Chains A and B, each alone.
Chain A
């Protein structure tokens, strides 16, 4: 049943032999210790487990680990480069766009996915892209602002 899974994880070529049907979310958390990716609903509706798969924001709780074969995975831990925070991370800090912080990694990964394909989104485009990411504390208005301001900074740095 076990299978060799080869993929790029946060910039590093990675191999792991395991049941290929295992949930990507739990593999990232338990096998790789990347606990920044959170469980929120288990059915892909809240966005707390969002990561980048080949630069697209996806919900890791709805993926199997075999789905990442030969592809590039970036989690919240892989977003900063050489100790320098990613512009989206900086913008969330500058705008104070978080409270409990539990949904924050998923928000940041989804926002990064949006900005990679659309660096200068309008307010409405930000809302459309973020619509299915849930935040219970109610940081929405600041998250929208942070994403718009991050877009302008993103062009200046190398992207994951």
Chain B
């Protein structure tokens, strides 16, 4: 395997690897000799715990080839719309030399699929596919070896096409993978691991493919968690507190217990009513009287930014280079800004849902979860169960965006179903979904920078408060710089609401701040903002991405505000270099911002499914308009006031630009990088800069609502 392709974070130390290999052989009673044993899913379950928490090294864990040639690819990844169900088979087909239609994906089932920590971080292609491709390359080499032995020829004299190995000099002398494996595990490994193919050898990788799951989804046949049929299933409705900061003092659910067919279960503060009909369960829940302690926390969506500035925590200095004072002396102009960004909800259209079915000591849980194995870990740990007694299955997931990394619903439903002794479905209402979310952090960011007479950035002092560091890198070529991260001390959160990963965590707020500030500097220096960026960049990849963006957009230079309504932003995320340019129209009477056209440019290394990557970029542009222009969680203390889509505004059809063009730079010879998140990081900055360019309003706070746009328009003298 190519070492350089592996993320060093995930590379296992050699010792551990050796130990694990030995364990594996001991366990299966195997050796070097070729033998075939029945591939039983419980074999995987019998492996020691520690081994199952790393991506397996045995290629059998990833795939099984049935006698008819069907390749079952059983991977712990889940499908939530970003396309691994389409792009993983492209890679499997190329590495194995099988027809893509012969591949069946089996995903997100802890009992049947190989371990994966979770589907997040734009990692499926840039990280996981290395393991999958290596496994397939090894499987292919073993199969070719077995075939050569059977055909009585040298392995080097074989060719493979569509899962059939044949004698290169006598194609009639042939044998199929299916005949060799007959659906059994293959107990041979290659001493020397073969290298995955070079990009020039790909047939499917690099070609656009339509969503493989589209037919299921357009016919209503795609099964999401709430759609799993289950006889005797009841709905659970859970009592929720009015705030995240209060304790349950007393509760009276006697009314509910009297209602026909209602059952109430309680496990500590977890109180649920059950009924076959969701409406009845809802009605019963409404009769419960509960008293809670006072919420002492008075921070709200107005005071949060000051609150973050004054928060107590740890200070960490990063990217420290040169000397800020010296940089300031070299500067002709000093520019200072403070940026704010409110909490955002993940708001997938499918709320968190889970169903649990107990059978003795064992439980099966269906959950809309980005991490079925993580849910399995959590349930086993919390309930003191053996891991093999917990099976978690993530069917199709109706959007995640980082929000379904957390799966409180899975844990709750397991506890409820255990008490109820019947299958229970817990499907969060939209109101619960808003309350139970792990929001994108609110952010306060301060930047102080200096520009020389030549239009060069001489100094960059960046501070961000109690939010993620991702995307806070300077990216520009600055001799004197410092990035300071303030973060909460363990056990003393400064953010009053629960926060977590939201599609490129931190990078949206950080990129909004940096790229807005860069545009301010360009305007102060009297330079075109694109030219100003190019002059201050040394990163050749970033420069190439911006040049491609400028060309595709047919951008002509102008000093802002030019009245044209064009803005750009750029950055790096998930290993990808990305830039977005957008043109908007601002209604100066109403403050309404109408996106007109957008261009995305990215260097994402090798691109597996160009169409899939383009769709992700379009999704980033569209979803990104929401956090930039309208989405804002209103709250007071631990009470989340935003509760549904009538008071939390997602992007609408009318906001859609007429065109979204995506340029993917041809880098097929480079390792693949992320595609699910990168473009979204640019949307705040690109829109802020476009609004400024349109009407001169410089906005320092997201969302950039019509009121804030109006307030920002410079008054005529």
A16 within 8 A of B: no
User: Which residues on the B side are within 8 Å of A92 (C-beta)?
Assistant: 214, 218
User: Which residues on the A side are within 8 Å of B654 (C-beta)?
Assistant: 127-128, 131
Considering only residues 60-89 of chain A, those with a C-beta below 8 Å from chain B are 75-77, 79-80, 85, 89
A4 within 8 A of B: no
Instruction: Tell me, in angstroms, the Cα distance from A36 to B619 when the chains sit together.
Output: 23
A96:B219 contact, CB within 8 angstroms: no
Whether A48 touches B218, Cβ cut-off 8 Å, given contacts A35-B226, A43-B644, A134-B650, is no
Q: Contact string, B204-241, partner A, CB cutoff 8 A, digits 1/0?
A: 00000011011111111111101101000000000000
Partner of A102, one of B399, B645, B657: B399
A100:B350 contact, CB within 8 angstroms: yes
Partner of B660, one of A89, A131, A135, A141: A141
Instruction: Tell me, in angstroms, the Cα distance from A40 to B653 when the chains sit together.
Output: 17
Which of B213, B349, B655 counts the most A-chain CB atoms under 10 A from its CB?
A: B349
User: Which residues on the A side are within 8 Å of B220 (C-beta)?
Assistant: 34-37, 75-77, 105
Considering only residues 579-616 of chain B, those with a C-beta below 8 Å from chain A are 611, 615
Closest B residue to A127 using CB positions:
B653
Partner of A138, one of B211, B214, B222, B620: B620
A103 within 8 A of B: yes
* A29 → B minimal CB distance (Å): 8
A138:B622 contact, CB within 8 angstroms: yes
Instruction: Tell me, in angstroms, the Cα distance from A109 to B645 when the chains sit together.
Output: 20
User: Which residues on the A side are within 8 Å of B397 (C-beta)?
Assistant: 100
A136:B218 contact, CB within 8 angstroms: no
User: Which residues on the B side are within 8 Å of A90 (C-beta)?
Assistant: 218
Instruction: Tell me, in angstroms, the Cα distance from A100 to B646 when the chains sit together.
Output: 22
Instruction: Tell me, in angstroms, the Cα distance from A141 to B614 when the chains sit together.
Output: 12
B177 within 8 A of A: no
Closest A residue to B345 using CB positions:
A136
B575 within 8 A of A: no
Q: Main secondary structure on chain A at its contact with chain B?
A: loop
* A105 → B minimal CB distance (Å): 5
Q: How many residues of B contact A (CB 8 A)?
A: 60
B651 within 8 A of A: yes
B470 within 8 A of A: no
Instruction: Tell me, in angstroms, the Cα distance from A43 to B224 when the chains sit together.
Output: 21
A137:B646 contact, CB within 8 angstroms: no
Closest A residue to B619 using CB positions:
A138
Closest B residue to A129 using CB positions:
B653
B81:A137 contact, CB within 8 angstroms: yes
Closest B residue to A92 using CB positions:
B218
Whether A108 touches B429, Cβ cut-off 8 Å, given contacts A26-B277, A101-B396, A136-B347, is no
Whether A98 touches B218, Cβ cut-off 8 Å, given contacts A136-B401, A141-B657, is yes
Instruction: Tell me, in angstroms, the Cα distance from A91 to B623 when the chains sit together.
Output: 22
User: Which residues on the A side are within 8 Å of B224 (C-beta)?
Assistant: 35, 38, 102
User: Which residues on the B side are within 8 Å of A144 (C-beta)?
Assistant: 653, 656
B279:A23 contact, CB within 8 angstroms: yes
B80 within 8 A of A: yes
* A160 → B minimal CB distance (Å): 14
User: Which residues on the B side are within 8 Å of A122 (C-beta)?
Assistant: none
B213:A101 contact, CB within 8 angstroms: yes
User: Which residues on the B side are within 8 Å of A45 (C-beta)?
Assistant: 644-646
B81:A96 contact, CB within 8 angstroms: no
User: Which residues on the A side are within 8 Å of B81 (C-beta)?
Assistant: 98-101, 137
Instruction: Tell me, in angstroms, the Cα distance from A138 to B615 when the chains sit together.
Output: 9
Instruction: Tell me, in angstroms, the Cα distance from A42 to B427 when the chains sit together.
Output: 12
Instruction: Tell me, in angstroms, the Cα distance from A41 to B398 when the chains sit together.
Output: 14
User: Which residues on the A side are within 8 Å of B194 (C-beta)?
Assistant: none
A6 within 8 A of B: no
User: Which residues on the B side are within 8 Å of A23 (C-beta)?
Assistant: 278-279
* B406 → A minimal CB distance (Å): 17
Partner of A26, one of B210, B279, B348, B656: B279
Closest A residue to B649 using CB positions:
A134
Partner of A134, one of B210, B429, B645: B645
Instruction: Tell me, in angstroms, the Cα distance from A118 to B638 when the chains sit together.
Output: 48
A104 within 8 A of B: yes
User: What are 9 residue pairs bridging A and B, where the CB atoms are less than 8 Å apart in the complex?
Assistant: A22-B277, A23-B278, A39-B427, A92-B218, A102-B396, A102-B398, A126-B653, A139-B622, A140-B651
Q: Which residues of A are at the interface with B, using a C-beta cutoff of 8 A?
A: 22-23, 26, 29-30, 33-43, 45-46, 48, 75-77, 79-80, 85, 89-90, 92-94, 96, 98-105, 108, 123, 126-128, 130-144
For the complex of A and B, 9 pairs with smallest distance between CB atoms: A36-B220, A102-B398, A138-B622, A100-B81, A101-B217, A99-B81, A76-B220, A138-B619, A35-B227
Q: Which residues of B are at the interface with A, using a C-beta cutoff of 8 A?
A: 80-83, 210-211, 213-224, 226-227, 229, 277-279, 347-351, 396-401, 427, 429-430, 611, 615, 618-623, 644-646, 650-660
Beyond A22-B279, A45-B645, A140-B656, 17 extra complex contacts between A and B, CB < 8 Å: A29-B226, A36-B220, A41-B645, A43-B430, A45-B646, A99-B399, A100-B399, A101-B396, A102-B348, A104-B218, A123-B658, A131-B653, A136-B401, A137-B399, A141-B622, A141-B660, A144-B653
